[in-house]
Each structure stands twice: as C-alpha cells, then as structure tokens.
C-alpha cells in the first residue's frame, strides 16, 4: 500500500538503456556529463526530468530520441516548439501518435518551414514500428540522408523538399516497401540514382529534380510504371546530366556540374 517514492535513475543506467535500444549502431554517447553534443544534451535532459520512474524504458528511449532530434535541429530557434519537453510526447508540436493517452510510438513528424537547422539524426530509425510520415519540407537540413532511413519500413511518405541535403540518395531507400511518396527534390544531392528505388512497389510519386545528380534513370525505376503503381516521376532531364526516358516531367538543369 501507499505511494512509493520515484526511483531516480542514474546516468550510467540511462546510458545503458539507450545504447541497448540500438544494438546495430555505435551510439556516440558517454555515461558522464563532461561535454555537450545533441545526444549528450538529450541524455542530460531525460535524466533531469523526473519522475523518471513513471516512464518505462521504451518511453525513456523515445524521449531521448526526440530530444536528440530537437538538439540536432537547433530546436531553440524553431518557429513552433510548443509543448516540447512536456510530459506527453504526443502533444509536442509537429508530432502525432495513434493514441495520445498512450504515447508509445510516433506516427508522424511534420515540420514544414519550421526553421529546422542541422543534420537528420540516424536515431529516428528507432520509430521503425510506428512512423508513417516524415514531412520536413522547406527547412535548412544539411548533411546526408542517414542510411538508417531504410529501417523505417512503415513509412508511406517522405518529404525533404527545399533543404540543403548533400551526398547520395541512400540505396537503403529501396527497403521502404510501403512508401507511396518520395520527395527529395530541391536539395544538393549528388551521385547516381540508385536502381534500388525500383523495389518500391507502392510508390506513386518520386521527385528528385533540382539536385546535382549525374546519372541515367535506372530501367528498374522506369519499369514501375508497368509493374508497380508509379504515376509521377520528376527529374532534371533537359540540358542536364540526368538522362530519363520515362520521366513524366523533365526539368531544366541550368547548371550542369558533372
């Protein structure tokens, strides 16, 4: 009987819970508070926001992943961060859950034009059992698309349009078997167009225009018009180093750079 006092968790216990939640990753996280990084700051925040005893391990990890996203993306400067760091993650601006009363698993991260500034943390792959939609259009997201995006196999929509993302389109994107919409146009993506996108049997729209890609559109992607449900394929293919025989809309690339 009676209420038990909250059991406060130690930093090394919390560190181990988080590291164990990512068995396939090498999470750069120290079990002390001597230096600052988005992951370290998130660890410190989860630790200092009791009553930690009221959160099970899944919730502790979820709160750490979201706080890592916040600190990685300059959350203090966002247009809208209302509700962030309150008790219920489902009420944090831009996030949705299936069941607000039971905040296990985020179904949508939607932050168009919210002044996000930073690199996508690979830890968002932790929402692989829940995340359906990742809508981060018109921000200042830099760096590369993490290869871990391929673990978010429930995703139906990705919109990273109008950011400053560099590097290649990860081949792992082809693992997103439920994906219907892929918009990664108007970034600074380089390299080839991965033929693995031809594995996306449910994709209706792929837009990769206004990037710095140098390639021929793989036949495997063109084949989706007949073997899949693809309706809309947009790329740079006029005066451009991208050759695309099957695009539904070709854009002029004014600065060939390959």
HEC string of 176-215 equals: CCCCCEEECCCCCCEECCCHHHHHCCCCCEEECCCCEECE
Write out the H or E segment, with its range, that includes residue 237: strand 232-238
Q: Single out the residue of 37, 38, 43 nearest to residue 12, CA to CA.
A: 43
pLDDT, residue 36, reads 81
Instruction: Determine the Cα–Cα distance for residues 12 and 18; give it in Å rounded to an integer.
Output: 10
Span 88-100, mean pLDDT? 93
Question: Residue 151 — pLDDT band, cuts 50, 70, 90?
Answer: very high
147-166 burial, b if ≥16 CB within 10 A, otherwise e?
A: ebbbbbebbbbbbbbbbebb
User: Does an H or E element contain 100, and which?
Assistant: none
55 pLDDT tier (thresholds 50, 70, 90): confident
Q: Report how far apart, in Å, the C-alpha atoms of 74 and of each of 10, 44, 78 are.
A: 27, 17, 7
pLDDT at 10: 84
Residues 80, 118: Cα–Cα separation, whole Å: 16
Q: Which residue has better confidence, 169 or 9?
A: 169
Are the C-beta atoms of residues 123 and 65 closer than 8 Å to each other? yes
Question: Omega before 51 cis (within 30°)?
Answer: yes
Alpha-carbon distances, residue 198 vs 47, 169, 201, 208, 219 (angstroms): 44, 13, 7, 14, 8
Residue 1 is predicted with a pLDDT of 43
* pTM of the model as a whole: 0.92
According to the model, what pLDDT value does residue 52 have? Answer: 55
Task: Report whether pLDDT(3) > 60.
Answer: no
Angle between helices 57-72 and 38-48 (to 10 degrees): 140
Instruction: Say whether 158 sits in a helix, a strand or coil.
Output: strand
Q: Which of 215, 208, 211 is nearest to 192 (CA)?
A: 215
Which has the higher per-residue pLDDT, 20 or 254? 20
Which DSSP category does 105 fall into?
S
């Amino acid at each position: 009987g009676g209420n038990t006092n909250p059991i406060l968790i130690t930093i090394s216990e919390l560190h181990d819970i988080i590291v164990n939640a990512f068995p396939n990753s090498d999470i750069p996280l120290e079990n002390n508070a001597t230096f600052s990084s988005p992951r370290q700051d998130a660890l410190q925040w989860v630790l200092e926001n009791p009553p930690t005893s009221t959160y099970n391990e899944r919730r502790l990890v979820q709160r750490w992943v979201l706080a890592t996203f916040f600190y990685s993306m300059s959350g203090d400067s966002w247009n809208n961060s209302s509700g962030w760091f309150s008790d219920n993650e489902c009420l944090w601006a831009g996030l949705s859950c299936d069941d607000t009363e039971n905040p296990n698993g985020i179904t949508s991260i939607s932050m168009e034009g919210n002044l996000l500034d930073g690199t996508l943390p690979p830890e968002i792959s932790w929402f692989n059992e829940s995340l359906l939609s990742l809508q981060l259009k018109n921000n200042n997201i830099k760096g590369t698309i993490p290869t871990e995006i391929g673990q978010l196999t429930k995703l139906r929509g990705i919109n990273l349009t109008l950011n400053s993302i560099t590097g290649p389109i990860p081949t792992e994107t082809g693992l997103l078997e439920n994906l219907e919409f892929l918009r990664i146009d108007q970034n600074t993506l380089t390299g080839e167009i991965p033929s693995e996108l031809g594995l996306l049997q449910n994709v209706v729209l792929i837009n990769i225009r206004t990037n710095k890609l140098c390639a021929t559109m793989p036949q495997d992607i063109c084949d989706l018009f007949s073997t899949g449900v693809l309706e809309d394929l947009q790329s740079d293919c006029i005066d451009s180093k991208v050759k695309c025989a099957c695009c539904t809309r070709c854009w002029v690339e004014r600065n060939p750079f390959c």
